[in-house]
Structure 1
Amino acid sequence: MKLVGTSDVGMVRDINQDSFLMLENKEKNIIAFGVADGLGGHNAGELASALCMDILREYFNISNKEYQDMKNEVKGIIEYANKRILDFANENEEAQGMGTTLTLCIYHDGIGYVVHIGDSRCYKINKEEIKQITVDHSLVSHMVASGEITKEEAEHHPNRNIITNALGTQEEFFIDTYDLELEKGDIVLICSDGLSEHVTNEEIMEIVNNNDLDEAKHLLIDKANENGGTDNVTVVLFDGGIE
């Protein structure tokens, strides 16, 4: 098993609003990793993403807890994180309007799934293909689904950064969940849109398949910055070592 991650402010931004989680609780047989991207243009986005990850980290590290219905429990923890972010913003005028995306992968007793809010992404990569597991909660994603624009048009659409679902911006939000089955040779990548905006699927696949994961995480960041680096970029890579 190998789990690596890194984050970079990029070439334009002054503050890194991304946070990431990498956690293994061997006692409870839990592996959890993910990315939260504080909403660009909103106040205190970096606080929202960090608060979200701190709450999840605390939940997964409770030593005396029996994790029996984790999928539903995690939804409850995310709802709690949403309330904590909202409360913080309401109590601190300078933080009003903050929010974050969240894309999180969990393995518990050999069962894997992804929970997703916003436009950070989860991919499954092997020698044959790169497959996007999550669907962006964004305006252009909705437009593609409704047939208004093509996927190619979405890549350059002026409103491609408008997201339609986030954590901490309002009381009502929704959580997508995806089952995740891995076979030998599969690598999981979770990233903020700072990577997916600037690095093509083909480039991601080539870098991940042809380098050790420790090297690949840096090469992905370098490629995003080389191709513009207009946003913070965060990557987490997981190889379950499945035989």
Structure 2
Amino acid sequence: MKFQLYQPQAINELGGRSNQEDSIYPLAGEASVERRVFVVCDGMGGLDKGEVASEAVSKALGQMADAILSAVPVFTDEDFRQCLSNAYDALDAADPNNEASMGTTMTFLCFHDGGCMVAHIGDSRIYHLRPSLGPEKGVLYRSRDHSLVQQLYEQGEISYEEMKTSPRKNVILKAMQPHLEQRTGATLVNIMDVKPGDYFYLCTDGMLERMEDSGLMSIVCSTDTDEQKRQRLINATANNADNHSAYLIQVKDVTDVEEESDNLPVAPEPKKNSKISVVAIGLSVLSLLAGIAAGIAVFL
């Protein structure tokens, strides 16, 4: 698949915190329609140097994925695992003496010729949205939070409404932390059904404090420009207690690689049959002359 994107919309707001623990890749102002890799991380609030962890992971993960995509057209699961390992190495290096208590969530998005890859660790979230299906059916994919309240909800111990107000709503079950004996793996999904007009939305949990999926779809399905949609998302989270960061990316066009090659001009085939035709004609003439000679011989 060959993807064309509209200008990606970055959000990286301080919110109600005194410091910014979220990190995004590319940095705000550096994204362009040519970008194919996006990362959003949320440093673990309450832990020392959460901002160091999120920055180390987002930068290392994004830069290595970009480097791989510059060399090969298809980004594989193994490529992602190598990038994730590199990000863990960067996280270890950010705390060389194993003195800091820090960690981060991670969301990852990559457009490549083989499709669209998404991956996450923690409770930062990824959406694949199709506004053409309307607000009720337009959420095609939503990542499952690696959080305690999500687990309790799935086990039937709390209701969906109680998830929002639970005192344990900030407890996450998976995160990226330095110097782990066994590094936490990511949930990895490859999405093949991508159409022009689709949106991908990567966001930290701060963006979701006061926003349901219905509210997100209401904004995405509106006739506003992407810049206006970005501002509406910021306005909706303006009073949130947490940092709030996101990338909102709309797909402009999708071209199948095979279709693209079918449309390329085809060079004319060499005239292989020209010599064969000459030889065939020559043989026919010789056969005809032989027949005439035989006829003359009989006549004489």
> Given the two structures, how large is their TM-score scaled by the length of structure 1?
0.87
CA–CA separation in structure 1 for the residues paired with 2:37 and 2:175: 20
SS at match of 1:59: helix
1:214 maps to which of 222, 227, 245: 227
SS at match of 2:39: strand
Q: Give 1:154 deviation, angstroms.
A: 1.2
Structure 2 equivalent of residue 153 of structure 1: 162
Per-residue Cα deviation, 1:123-179 (whole angstroms, up to 9, x for no partner): 122332335521000001111122222222212211011001001253431210112
Structure 2 equivalent of residue 88 of structure 1: 94
Is residue 102 of structure 1 aligned with residue 106 of structure 2?
yes
Select between 38-47 and 148-157 the one with higher mean Cα deviation: 148-157
Structure with larger Rg? 2
CA–CA separation in structure 1 for the residues paired with 2:162 and 2:91: 34
Q: Superposition RMSD on alpha carbons, in Å? A: 2.2
CA–CA separation in structure 2 for the residues paired with 1:195 and 1:206: 15
CA–CA separation in structure 2 for the residues paired with 1:116 and 1:150: 24
2:58 maps to which of 15, 31, 53: 53
Structure 1 equivalent of residue 195 of structure 2: 183
1:164 maps to which of 163, 173, 178: 173
Do the aligned residues in 2 keep the contact of 1:134 with 1:178 (CA within 8 Å)? no
Identity in percent: 27
2:72 maps to which of 62, 66, 80: 66
Q: Give 1:21 deviation, angstroms.
A: 1.6
CA–CA separation in structure 2 for the residues paired with 1:203 and 1:233: 16
Select between 149-158 and 133-142 the one with higher mean Cα deviation: 149-158
Structure 2 equivalent of residue 139 of structure 1: 148
Do the aligned residues in 1 keep the contact of 2:196 with 2:253 (CA within 8 Å)? yes
| Displaced runs of 4 or more, over 6 A | none
Structure 1 equivalent of residue 284 of structure 2: none
AA in 2 matched with 1:204: L
Structure 1 equivalent of residue 264 of structure 2: none
CA–CA separation in structure 2 for the residues paired with 1:184 and 1:80: 33
Structure 1 equivalent of residue 214 of structure 2: 202
Is residue 238 of structure 1 aligned with residue 243 of structure 2?
no
Q: How many residues align?
A: 235
Greater relative CO (CA pairs within 8 A, separation 6+): 1
Q: Give 1:203 deviation, angstroms.
A: 1.7
> Given the two structures, how large is their TM-score scaled by the length of structure 2?
0.72
Is residue 224 of structure 1 aligned with residue 237 of structure 2?
yes
CA–CA separation in structure 2 for the residues paired with 1:186 and 1:62: 26
SS at match of 2:177: coil
Unpaired segments ≥5 residues, structure 1: none
Unpaired segments ≥5 residues, structure 2: 255-300
AA in 1 matched with 2:87: A
SS at match of 1:107: strand
CA–CA separation in structure 1 for the residues paired with 2:196 and 2:33: 23
Q: 1:175 to 1:18 in 2, by over 3 A?
A: same
CA–CA separation in structure 2 for the residues paired with 1:16 and 1:242: 34
1:33 maps to which of 31, 35, 38: 38
Do the aligned residues in 1 keep the contact of 2:200 with 2:250 (CA within 8 Å)? yes
